[in-house]
């Protein structure tokens, strides 16, 4: 019984990767989306890069040193303005600051000076711009004070301004309760969990077309004619659907972890969530493949259901942004329960014991879908 089941499961994996286009959608595309979304929404592991080019006088050197001391950015020295613009356009730099040739002369002559700032249209660039403005304000404050006085040499006035200690205030912040998102959770962590669920379910449902192809080519009748029990055949098909979902899930988990440093929390808890969600996807694929008649129907309806449920369940927009009513609706989908489980593991350092409610709901959904799918598939394979 075990050997036929494993053989059928292995054949399902072979059929999946035999089509070269599936390699892109199963392996490459999810990783690319995690990269794009992780960069777009920020990540503690990716430091904004600021290109700096231009004059190298004493005042310009002070400005560059202040930028380099900032913990919010990484300074990259460039040769000229053209290189700065090109690298910002290419995306290798988040922004660039151009220090004009007359920067030192303008400051020492008490003349206002403008520093061109080029940035990309992304959230990281806005944060970087605030850090750059703060550094410029800090380093030019003595020069502006000297310009305000205007009576004396620039060096003496700046030295006096720098020697003055202005009274300051101390600001203390406290967090009441538990933060909804831990400080060390990055944009890559958030995007990886949502893309994992979206693509595992998407691949599972569209893979229902292989079940229909099995019936259309008469392979199901040949399997029933062989000395193999119907239970082994059904278990093999279920194992095949599960194997496809697990393989893609593991690829996304390991790939995002190695490439982008994505954390999945407690390994045992993350593995349990992946297994439970893969069982849900496998059961849904069996049911879809049993009730539909053509591969085109399976692919079309699979896309519609997987993308629709992902949107409703929080895999396209974080559940934290949902209203109370929408959160209740979202929890009619398995995606929301799986996302809650991963949130518990990531944000609150949970373990398997902490996600037992989510695992229980996913297991119940999987059991219902697998039972219904097996019942319908048994009838479909013998038609």
Strands (E), the chain: 49-54, 74-77, 95-99, 117-119
pTM: 0.69
141 with 237, same domain?
no
Q: Residues with Cβ < 8 Å from 117, sequence gap 6 or more?
A: 95, 96, 97, 98, 129, 132
CA 100 to chain centre: 39
293 with 339, same domain?
yes
117 with 229, same domain?
no
Q: What's 39-66 look like in SS3?
A: HHCCCCCCCCEEEEEECCCHHHHHHHHH
pLDDT per residue of the chain (383 residues) written in tens, 0 to 9: 677 777 777 877 777 777 777 788 888 899 998 888 877 765 444 567 888 988 678 888 888 888 888 777 888 888 888 888 888 887 788 889 888 888 877 777 777 888 888 888 776 777 788 888 888 888 777 777 777 776 767 666 666 666 666 666 777 777 665 555 555 567 788 889 999 999 999 999 998 888 888 778 776 667 766 767 777 778 888 888 899 899 999 999 999 999 888 889 899 999 999 999 999 999 999 999 889 888 899 899 999 999 999 999 999 888 888 888 999 999 999 999 999 999 999 888 889 999 999 999 999 999 999 999 988 888 776 66
CA nearest to 57, candidates 103, 93, 21:
103
32 with 55, same domain?
no
Q: How far is 229 from 210, CA to CA, in rounded Å? A: 21
- Give the CATH number, domain containing residue 87: 3.40.1710.10
315 with 206, same domain?
yes
Q: How far is 75 from 48, CA to CA, in rounded Å? A: 9
201 with 226, same domain?
yes
Lookup: tokens for 380: 């479909």
Torsion of CA 347, 352, 358, 361, to 10 degrees: 170
Lookup: tokens for 223: 């399997």
20 with 64, same domain?
no
201 with 301, same domain?
yes
339 with 371, same domain?
yes
Instruction: List Cα–Cα distances, 129 to 69, 77, 124, in angstroms.
Output: 15, 17, 9
Total structural domains within the chain: 2
Q: How far is 190 from 203, CA to CA, in rounded Å? A: 20
- Residue 62: give the domain boundaries: 49-160
């Amino acid at each position: 019984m075990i050997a036929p089941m494993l053989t059928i499961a292995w054949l399902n994996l072979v059929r999946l990767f035999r089509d070269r286009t599936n390699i892109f959608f199963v392996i490459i595309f999810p990783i690319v989306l995690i990269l794009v979304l992780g960069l777009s929404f920020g990540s503690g592991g990716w430091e904004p890069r600021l290109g700096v080019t231009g004059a190298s006088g004493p005042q310009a050197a002070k400005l560059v040193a202040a930028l380099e001391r900032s913990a919010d950015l990484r300074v990259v020295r460039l040769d000229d303005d053209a290189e700065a613009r090109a690298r910002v356009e290419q995306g290798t730099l988040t922004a660039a600051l151009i220090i004009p040739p007359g920067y030192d002369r303008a400051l020492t002559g008490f003349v206002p000076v403008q520093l061109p700032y080029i940035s990309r249209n992304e959230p990281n660039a806005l944060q970087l711009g605030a850090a750059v403005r703060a550094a410029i304000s800090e380093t030019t404050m003595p020069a502006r004070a000297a310009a305000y006085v205007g009576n004396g040499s620039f060096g003496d006035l700046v030295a006096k301004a720098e020697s003055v200690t202005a009274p300051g205030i101390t600001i203390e912040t406290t967090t009441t309760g538990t933060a909804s998102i831990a400080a060390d959770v990055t944009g890559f962590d958030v995007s990886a969990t949502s893309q994992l669920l979206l693509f595992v379910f998407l691949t599972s449902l569209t893979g229902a077309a292989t079940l229909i192809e099995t019936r259309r080519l008469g392979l199901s009748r040949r399997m029933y004619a062989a000395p193999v029990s119907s239970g082994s055949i059904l278990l093999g098909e279920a194992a095949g659907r599960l194997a496809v979902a697990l393989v893609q899930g593991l690829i996304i988990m390991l790939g995002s972890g190695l490439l982008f440093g994505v954390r999945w929390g407690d390994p045992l808890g993350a593995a349990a969530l992946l297994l439970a969600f893969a069982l849900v996807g496998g059961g849904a694929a069996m049911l879809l493949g049993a009730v539909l008649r053509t591969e085109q129907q399976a692919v079309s309806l699979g896309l519609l259901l997987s993308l629709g449920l992902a949107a409703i369940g929080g895999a396209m927009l974080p559940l934290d942004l949902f209203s109370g009513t929408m959160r209740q609706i979202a929890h009619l989908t398995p995606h929301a329960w799986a996302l809650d489980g991963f949130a518990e593991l990531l944000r609150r350092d949970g373990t398997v014991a902490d996600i037992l409610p989510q695992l229980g709901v996913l297991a119940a959904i999987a059991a219902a879908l697998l039972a219904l799918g097996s019942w319908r598939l048994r009838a479909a394979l013998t038609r």
